[in-house]
Amino acid sequence: MSAAMCAFILTLSSALGPTVVSGVLAAPTHVRLTSYDMNLVLMWDSPEGPASSIVYTTEYKSSVSDSFDKVGCVNISNLECDLTAIFQYGKYTGRVRAQSGTESSAWMKSNQITLDKDTVISSPDVSLSSSGAAIEVSIKDPVFMISALREVYHSATYNITYWQHGQREKARSKSNIQQNRVILSDLDPWTKYCVQVQIIIVGRNPSKPSAAVCDSTTRAEEAPWVAAVVTFGIVAMAVALVVVAVLYRKHISHFLCPKVALPQHFKEYLLAPPNSYMYLAMRNSHPPDEIYNQVSVIADGRTREEPLDSCSKQPDAT
């Protein structure tokens, strides 16, 4: 075979890649490093061409190292490896290779990401609570794999968008909110409102917006100062009544419990002797004479032990 022909075969083999070379295992494809809520996951696709019993080994490195000195997953069959580390900042790069028996593919390197800048922040959890003509919005930050959102992003704020149900084009918003509990008070009573929240971080992309949650307002409540004025008035009246009761307690007692006094002409009438004709006649009259007859009681000479016969008998002559 001529030298020109050998050179042509080698050039063609290099152009077609390792899959056409006998005894060399194809490498994984589409290797990428991803991060959601401060985790670190290396993902890839299986090698091209037929292969059986393939396992994968991964490694990664951070910005403080020039070589892949950290081993991730070893001899795994799935197409991803969780490389979440204890670091919150810095740049990371991963790589993976395929193995089948004694054959190994070349290492395939991923993209480089900066964890705190490139991580995708998921949407916050939002709940609503209606109170009269106002709605309270409660916001819960997404859970990070390492640390917490406020520890990584100190300047994180919320952007709250709200609108009447069915009128999304007339939405209003409140921005630069740092509290996780916000009251929307500029609402109409007896109206359904929908709310959506997004986390805003300076210098990077915002989080995914939350799902729209809706709730309805009820009756319009009076302003707080109205209740304060009414309460103050009631307290002032109560204090005034107590003061008056203490200062004028005698007069109030005489008014509520007056002493009973009969008029003079009533006293004279009740104390004057009666002048009725019948009363005078009864007082001056003498008691009537009683008519009576004298009665004598004679004993019959019998003792108590002797029974009284029902028939009268003449005593025997002695």
Same fold, 21-118 and 125-216: yes
* The predicted structure's pLDDT at residue 212: 96
Which sequence spans correspond to the domains of the chain? 21-118, 125-216
> Quick check: helix, strand or coil at residue 148?
coil
* The predicted structure's pLDDT at residue 214: 96
* The predicted structure's pLDDT at residue 7: 43
Share of the chain above pLDDT 70, in %: 72
In tens, the pLDDT along 248-276 reads 777 777 667 766 666 776 667 667 766 66
d(CA 315, CA 3): 198
Element (H, E) at 249: helix 249-256
* The predicted structure's pLDDT at residue 49: 74
Name residue, tokens 């959506």. 196
* Ranges of residues in the chain whose predicted pLDDT is under 70: 1-23, 50-51, 86-88, 220-227, 254-255, 258-262, 265-267, 269-270, 273-290, 292, 299-318
d(CA 141, CA 200): 12
CATH number of 125-216: 2.60.40.10
* The predicted structure's pLDDT at residue 262: 64
Domain 21-118: CATH superfamily is: Immunoglobulins (2.60.40.10)
> Quick check: helix, strand or coil at residue 220?
coil
* The predicted structure's pLDDT at residue 282: 67
* The predicted structure's pLDDT at residue 11: 44
DSSP 63-115: TT-SS--EE---SB-SSEEE---S-SSSEEEEEEEEEETTEE---EEEEEEEH
